[in-house]
Structure 1
Amino acid sequence: MRLEVDIASKTFKNAAGEQHDVIAGVAFALDAGEVGVFVGPSGCGKSTMLRILTGLDPDFQGRVSRPAGARIGFVFQEPRLLPWRSVEENVRLAAPLADEAKLSALFEILELNAHRNHFPGELSLGLARRVALARAFAVEPAFLILDEPLASLDVALAARMRDQIAMLMDNRSMITLLVTHDVDDAVRLGDRLFLLSPRPARVLAELPICTPRGERGDAEIAAIKSDVMRRINGDLPERESS
């Protein structure tokens, strides 16, 4: 199972008829079990890229090859829960055939068992984000997209949820694509990091991380983060791969 992406260009016209370049060259491939992370500045075209990858935007130059018939799990920047449905109902609407034992285990990992009958209006942002994660994992996706899943959370809560996401990913063989502004999240969760330029987006550097997530020590994480920040703040005229 493999995802192959080669987006040569993506443009759009605004209401005034002016053409804007959004993507100028994003090419990569991910295999099952790999976690690819895209790190780039706000407004660089990450959300546009995700719409292309899911087939929601076919108007681009290039090619995207997804596994045939693959289920897609998507965690959006906002939880996007139905306010008139309970936590469990929100999850089961996406995965009506979910096995009860697997669903209970998922709720246990994400600390949601005590909130199964609560409604979104009764939840904190952190809990709502956990429900969004549960919904995405419950469909047992072959291709999982996480779009800023930890945004706007305090440092301690984000770290706790990051560990929960890592645990869930490690128990599943799927292609995972994470979009984030947070270099710490990228380095702790990713297997391969893709650094994007400002709009129009292109891949400035591709950085593989060979050490498994659970075996990365603080010194190695700090060194990788330092390398990523150097590349982000530097001037990289050509795509690099280490």
Structure 2
Amino acid sequence: MRLEVDILSKTFRSAAGETHAVLAPVKFALQSGEVGVLIGPSGCGKSTMLRIILGLDRDFEGHIARPPEARVGMVFQEPRLLPWRSVEQNVRLAAPAASDAKLAELFRILELEAHRSHFPGELSLGLARRVALARAFAVEPDVLVLDEPLASLDDALAGRLRDEIATLVASRPVTTLLVTHSLDDAARLGDRLFLLSRRPARILAEVPIDIPRETRSDAAIAAIKAGLARRAQDEQGGERAGRDVS
């Protein structure tokens, strides 16, 4: 399963009739089993890019390629659960063909076994995020898109949920694209990292991580994060210099 992204441009027209560029040329590809991470400043166009990749926005120049039969799982920034349905009903609505054994395993991994009959209003944000992950994995996706799934969680909870995401991603060959502001999330979960510019977003640098996720030590992760921070600072500094010259 291969995901190919080749966006030439994306613009929108304001109420005043002005045209604004959201995305500059962005091109990359991800293979089955690979986790790509998009890292960029707020408002640079990451969510717009995800909408294009998911097929929710077709008003752009370029093309997105994936096998037509590919199943897609999506975890949004907000859990987006139906409040009048229970945890299990929310998951089964997305994956009606999922077996009882499959759901039981997902609920076990995500520590949701005691919450299957609860409703979204009874859940903490962390639990609701777990339900959103269960819903995405229940469809057995070929392509998984995660839009800042750990945002606004405390460090301890984010760490536990990050480990659960890593376990789920390792459980089946899925092509994964993660959007995050966190260098820690990127260093722990990613195989290839894409540093994005300010709007209109373009790829400033592509950073591969050769150490397998399951063998990355704390020291290796700290080194990856330090290198990412330096790379981002250098690239953004060069970008500002280029704008000043122009």
TM-score over 0.5 (shorter chain):
yes
The aligned residue for residue 11 of structure 1 is 11
The aligned residue for residue 194 of structure 1 is 194
Q: Which has the higher helix share?
A: 2
* Residue 218 of structure 1, CA deviation: 1.4
Question: Where in structure 2 are the equivalents of 1:34-113 lying within 5 Å?
Answer: 34-113=34-113
For 1:236 and 1:154, the matched residues in 2 are separated by: 33
The aligned residue for residue 240 of structure 1 is none
TM-score, scaled to structure 1: 0.96
Counterpart residue type for residue 220 of structure 1: A
Contact 1:204-1:236 at 8 Å conserved across structures: no
Does 1:209 find its partner at 2:198?
no
Task: Give structure 2 stretches of 5+ with no counterpart.
Answer: 240-246
Counterpart residue type for residue 22 of structure 1: V
* Residue 207 of structure 1, CA deviation: 0.6
- Secondary structure of the residue aligned to 1:233 is helix
Counterpart residue type for residue 19 of structure 1: T
For 2:189 and 2:196, the matched residues in 1 are separated by: 18
For 1:181 and 1:11, the matched residues in 2 are separated by: 23
Q: Which runs of 4+ in 1 moved over 4 A?
A: none
Aligned residue pairs: how many? 237
- Secondary structure of the residue aligned to 1:130 is helix
The aligned residue for residue 164 of structure 2 is 164
Residues 126-183 of structure 1 deviation map (CA, whole Å, 9 limit, x = unaligned): 0000000000000000000000000110000000000000000001101100000011
For 1:176 and 1:55, the matched residues in 2 are separated by: 16
- Secondary structure of the residue aligned to 1:6 is strand
The aligned residue for residue 146 of structure 1 is 146
For 1:12 and 1:227, the matched residues in 2 are separated by: 35
For 1:7 and 1:95, the matched residues in 2 are separated by: 30
Residues 90-117 of structure 1 deviation map (CA, whole Å, 9 limit, x = unaligned): 0000000101111100000000000000
- Secondary structure of the residue aligned to 2:198 is coil
Task: Give structure 1 stretches of 5+ with no counterpart.
Answer: 238-242
For 1:34 and 1:226, the matched residues in 2 are separated by: 22
* Residue 236 of structure 1, CA deviation: 4.1
TM-score, scaled to structure 2: 0.95
Counterpart residue type for residue 150 of structure 2: L
* Residue 233 of structure 1, CA deviation: 1.7
